[in-house]
Structure 1
Amino acid sequence: CSWSGRAGAGPCWARALSEDPGCEVVVLEAGPVPSAFPGDLLDARLVPGARPGHPAVRTFPARLAPGMPYMAARGRVLGGSTTVNGGYFVRARRADFDRWAEAGGDGWSYERALPFMRALENDLDHGATALHGDRGPMPVRRTGLEHPAAAAFRDAARELGYPDEPDKNAEEPPGFGPVPSNSVDGRRVNTGLAYLLGAASARPNLTVAGGRGVRSVVVRGGRATGVVAADGTVLEADEIVLCAGALATPHLLHLSGIGPAADLERAGIAVVRDLPVGAALSDHPQIVVEWTPRRPLGGPSGSWLGGALHLPSSDGPAAGDLEILQSLVPMAGLVGGRVAVPGMPLAFLASVQTPRTSGSLRTVSADPDVPPEIDYGYLRTGADRRRMREAVRATVAIVRAGAFGEVCAGTVEPVPVDDDGVLDAWIRARLGTSQHTCGTVPMGPAVDARGRVHGVRGLRVADTSILPAAPLRGPAATAVLIGEIAAADLRRE
């Protein structure tokens, strides 16, 4: 059994399958596999994925909307994006599982998924309860609210009438609360550390090979028989599991002849299976709203994350589809890899997390070094633009609240919240993305509920590609859940 991974789900597979001594597992990681991770990758006060040119990051050229180029960052190291992201480890909502169960059956219901969510975590705040586990490989701890800016955010949310939501990994009504994180005492714990670099690494039937990117899957007679590594080596296996993430996995399938036939033929790729791989893409648009502290507030002690506020848009689900996430490190620090940047403003990250597909990923060349065309399709509809305005206005209301005024002198620049047209232009000039890509190899049209690629035996996908749309919360915890569920399915088989 071989897998190619840049996403957080891959190490889950490797550990679970290698528990069976009769299964030989070969892990092919495109990036390095360090015996000890560099300190900056594990410092929970930093976000390596935000740093241009970081060696643990691969970037994909993309377009957020017409005329809006962007470079999408993904982890290129053992543990994938759980090594370079913000350490946000929040579960999907029940409404998400209801949608996934419609596409993939009862195995994706909240009730069926909950035992896996409990089993993968070691919740250091709640311990073992009906909702949480205390024996899993992934530590979960909620960010503290002791920092003056975090406490002021909490008080401002209460002033504006938002409820408290102390446990965002429970199915409570959306509101303000600390952020569940896979960071403990200032140290990020990625899936490579949690799943592979412990006792599992000594198993004789497990091989983890770094610097071994994969160019394509070999398919003969309707069955996947191996993979072609970047150096041209062919590795054969009875089962191939792709965990390269929602941007690299569909590209890899396209290069293997699996995808929309017309697009593949135009790119000069022989068609193996005509499937809607890359025909849809789902992510969450995001805006940064910076504000000026009244006085020096000091840096964070454990995590760059402060609190988070979730609320429903005017026509959104009751579970809440707008998110306001607090950064306790200036954006200049996150981009520059520094915790302390004296005199610089702090920020809120406002995003729209309504589950929908708006983009696409299309391969344009048989050369694996030619990147695919990635279009996020943001702000296409009136509803898209209205929800983004609502997220920005809710953020500005927090900044202007009396309780937040204890620490804040106002936004860095005027935000034109009183005029829809002017605000739309302001948003468009500052638009970003939450890096929550899903839906490029969706359950139903492209793979079955177990991630098995339709019409190609022995080939599976186990990353956020298979989710029909991005969940109502960031998908890092869900990526690990996918790995756990899929590994259990394969072991049963």
Structure 2
Amino acid sequence: MSHDPSPAARSSDARRGFDIVIVGGGSAGAVLAARLSEDPARRVLLLEAGPAPRTQAEMPDAVLDGTTVAASVPGHALGWTYRGSLLTRDAAHGMRMPQREYDVVRGRLIGGSGAINGGYFIRPRPTDHAEWVAAGGDAWSTENALPLLRAMESDVDYGETALHGGSGPIPVRRADGHPVSQAFEASCLAAGFASDPDKNAPGGSGVGPVPQNVTDGVRRSPAMQYLLPALNRENLEVRGGVTVTRIIVRGGRAVGVQASARRSFEVITGGEIVLAAGAIATPQLLQLSGIGPADDLRAHGIRCVADLPVGEALSDHASITLSMIARTAPPAPEGSPFPTALHTSAPTGEPFELLVGARPLDEIVPGIGAPSALPVMVNLPSTGRGSITLQSDDPAVPPLIRYDYLAEERDRAIARHAVRIAADLIRSREFAVVVENDDAPDTRLLTDDGALDAWIASRIGTTVHTCATAPMGTVADGAGRVLGIDGLRIADTSLLPTAPARGPAASAVLVAETIARAMRAT
């Protein structure tokens, strides 16, 4: 393994040794640091590569403004911009091949992607929990997760109930009354879909308001709500601007990390190392440290210390964005720009989502989309599996990200069904109250499977709901402990064996709460 620090590299003062070193200050890392430092006897260090504001007043405007995702544009200073390949099958040759490249943006500051996302905060479904239990054990069951889900939230609409929390750190509310939402709901109900007023209830599907962690226009990220109030604890240290480049493993045990800051190297030791760098950076860091598929590691000159299928089962949601031209400019939404969603299923049972924007796309994501065009996002299930692999043993070289979208006929059939549903709804008499035109496929495309497949392939993207890149069951156990390596855990969505049926923002917090519970029990 190259890129070791020079002899001048310095180590943390052993007298102030950390019990836990957490790598990554995104949603999961911030929550984990806050929870574990509740024990004053446990010294916790949180390392974040991006900036680490210590107060809400220090947060950039793009982070605080929950009515846009302005920091999610490629090249933004608050994001990591990766390049991913979207995969389809070449029908003429029957082989899988790259279709086109796509920018993948992840948050680069305290709060991570949870600090720059759309404020969507829907819980995982019972079917998600069942899959997670099969991989990680009963700690991930609906029954065991519910107390943690209640403890993380303060539900503005429902308050303290057997299902909802009323005094947790993250405020959760549902927007209603927006004319675009009202028209879309009317369209769905007229088409026979059910009303779904509480999408954080355990069952059901249908149309209804999206639970969101945006109040008074402010994105209440997990880092803001969990971590900032904990920063006065003497046993918690947070360092920004520190990039971890390798986990140090000796004799089968993780004993520290190699990090760089301002062009100098540092070796930081800890009793236990927890990776919460996100579902792209965590598998890259594992592989750089010799933990991953042995043959791939050897190809880059990296000595394998644990032959594990890291990066081989990426799970994510594909997305297709349709645009609508409103009859008149709609009022600005009070909270998230995506206030309403329809959840339903394909004829074969796979769930999908239509997420409706109440603000023009070029205002939600500046520079993207036609002016004044309202978006409808068709978010498809995570049936395919992609991968994350190294391109180099240099930590500065980003990994190769491949998404396995539309690779099988089943995937293409689900996408066709979802787009046809979306086109019918946005062209309905009920929706015509607010929309006068759209760019959904015309009748000729909608009735021709092959032509519609090509149209979808030209627009397919990713929701960046990346999971399963270091999953429990094959890479780690249900407590996040990496198999075959003592003293090393994973605590972010790379641990989940499948992406949840709906967006993973709440699931990322649940991962941190579940791993914190497991660590407190040891």
Q: What TM-score bracket applies, with the shorter chain setting the length?
A: over 0.9
**Contact 1:52 1:335 (C-alpha < 8 Å) held by counterparts:** no
Instruction: Please give the per-residue CA displacement for 1:290-315, whole angstroms capped at 9, x wherever unaligned.
Output: 01112222322332112100001110
Q: Distance in 2 between matches of 1:423 and 1:104?
A: 39
Shift of 1:492: 1.1
After TM superposition, the score normalised by the length of structure 2 is 0.91
Encode CA deviations 1:71-120: one digit per residue, 9 max, x unaligned.
Answer: 11100110111101111010110011011111111111111111111111
Q: Distance in 1 between matches of 2:215 and 2:132?
A: 31
Question: What CA distance in whole angstroms lies between the structure 2 residues aligned with 1:134 and 1:213?
Answer: 37
Instruction: Give the whole-Å Cα distance in 1 for the aligned partners of 2:250 and 2:219.
Output: 42
Partner of residue 375, structure 2: 347
Question: Residues 85 and 102 of structure 2 are in contact (CA less than 8 Å); yes or no, is this contact kept in structure 1?
Answer: yes
Q: Deviations over 1:221-259 (max 9, x none)?
A: 000000000232000000000001110000000011000
Does 2:279 match 1:246?
yes
Kindly indicate whether residue 251 of structure 2 is the aligned counterpart of residue 221 of structure 1: yes
Secondary structure of 2:195's partner? coil
- Aligned letter for 2:171? P
> Does 2:110 match 1:81?
no
Is 1:329 the equivalent of 2:359? Answer: yes
Change (3 A) 1:443 1:202: same
Distance 1:305 1:364 in 2: 36
Does 1:132 find its partner at 2:164?
yes
* Identical amino acids, percent of aligned pairs: 46
Task: Return the letter of the residue paired with 1:213.
Answer: T
Matched, 1:267 2:300: yes
Q: Once the 2 structures are TM-superposed, how far is the Cα of residue 424 of structure 1 from its aligned partner?
A: 0.7
Which deviates the most, 162-171 or 297-306? 297-306
> How far off its partner does 1:10 sit?
0.7
User: In 1, Cα distance between the equivalents of 2:438 and 2:367?
Assistant: 23
Which residue is equivalent to 1:67? 99
2:239 to 209, 214, 220: 209
Q: Could you say what secondary structure the match of 1:336 adopts? A: coil
Amino acid at match of 1:224: A
Contact 1:385 1:424 in 2 (8 A): yes
CA–CA separation in structure 1 for the residues paired with 2:257 and 2:334 = 44
In the alignment, residue 60 of structure 1 is paired with which amino acid? Y
Structure 1 segment 157-172 matched on structure 2, within 5 A: 157-172=188-203
Partner of 1:233, secondary structure, is strand
Output the amino acid matched with 2:109: V
- 1:336-485 map, 5 Å: 336=366, 344-353=372-381, 355-412=382-439, 414-415=441-442, 416-485=445-514
- Note if 1:186 corresponds to 2:217: yes
1:30: which partner in 2? 49
Whether contact under 8 Å (2:384, 2:405) holds in the other structure is no
State the partner residue of 2:16. Answer: none
What whole-Å deviation, never above 9, does each CA across 1:307-338 have from its counterpart, x for those lacking one? 10000111025xxx110001112222222179
Q: Does residue 305 of the first structure (1) align with residue 338 of the second (2)?
A: yes
CA RMSD, Structure 1 to Structure 2 (Å): 1.5
Q: CA deviation at 1:6?
A: 4.8
Q: Is the 8 A contact 1:29 1:211 kept in 2?
A: yes
Task: Output the CA distance in 1 between the equivalents of 2:209 and 2:223.
Answer: 25
1:492 aligns with 2:521: yes
In the TM superposition, what is the alpha-carbon distance from 1:280 to its structure 2 partner? 1.1
Cα deviation 1:455-493 (Å, max 9, x = unaligned) = 100000000001111010111100000000101111110
TM superposition score normalised by structure 1: 0.96
Q: Deviations over 1:399-433 (max 9, x none)?
A: 11111011111313644212111111111111111
Judge conservation of contact 1:399–1:410 (CA < 8 Å) in 2. Answer: no
Q: Could you tell me whether the CA contact under 8 Å between 2:175 and 2:334 is conserved in 1? A: no
User: C-alpha separation between the residues in 2 aligned to 1:110 and 1:342?
Assistant: 42
Q: Which amino acid aligns with 2:348?
A: D
Letter in 2 for 1:225: V
Correspondent of 2:179 among 148, 153, 156: 148
For residues 186 and 18 of structure 1, the distance between their equivalents in structure 2, rounded to whole angstroms, comes to 30
Q: 1:3 corresponds to which residue?
A: 22
Alpha-carbon deviation of 1:371? 1.2
2:314 aligned residue: 281
4+ runs deviating over 3 angstroms = 412-415
Structure 1 residues 287, 122: closer, same or farther in 2, change over 3 A?
same
Which secondary structure does the structure 2 equivalent of 1:232 belong to? strand
> Which position in structure 2 is the counterpart of 1:175?
206
Letter in 2 for 1:194: Q
**C-alpha separation between the residues in 2 aligned to 1:325 and 1:474?**
11
- Tell me how far 1:41 sits from its aligned partner: 1.2
Task: Tell me, in whole angstroms, the C-alpha distance in 2 between the residues paired with 1:342 and 1:432.
Answer: 17
Q: Does residue 45 in structure 1 map to residue 73 in structure 2?
A: no
Structure 1: state its 5+ residue gaps. Answer: none
Counterpart of 1:16, as a letter, is R
Aligned to 2:15: none
Q: What is the one-letter code of the residue matched to 2:186? A: D
Q: Are 2:130 and 1:98 aligned? A: yes
Q: Which amino acid aligns with 2:504?
A: P
